[in-house]
Amino acid sequence: MKERLSNVLAWLGFLYPALFWFIVLVSFTRFDVFADLAKFFEDNFVPDNKPVLLFLVFGLYPCCAIVNYLLVGRFRLLPWVEK
């Protein structure tokens, strides 16, 4: 059970900031192919509150890593690495 929770925390901590930086990249480069996808993610997953947004981008990943360390005994910074 702890290993499955570790997987969820590792991927959650990795994917949300990765999606945010993908949206930032798309909005700066103005790729027409990804514009609709970026708008969808921005409307549905990016909060309007600046402190919450800063926490989700910069604080969620370290918090998930710390909780992972406390539960399983390792930080698991890269979710696809099992060791």
Domain boundaries, the chain: 2-72
DSSP assignment of 27-65 equals: HHHT-TTTHHHHHHHHHHHS-S-HHHHHIIIIIHHHHHH
pTM: 0.60
User: Which of 42, 80, 44, 78 is closest to 61 using CA atoms?
Assistant: 78
Q: What is the pLDDT of residue 83?
A: 62
Residue-level pLDDT at 32: 64
pLDDT of residue 21: 80
Q: What is the pLDDT of residues 19-74, one digit of tens each?
A: 878 777 777 776 666 677 767 777 776 667 777 777 777 888 888 888 888 888 87
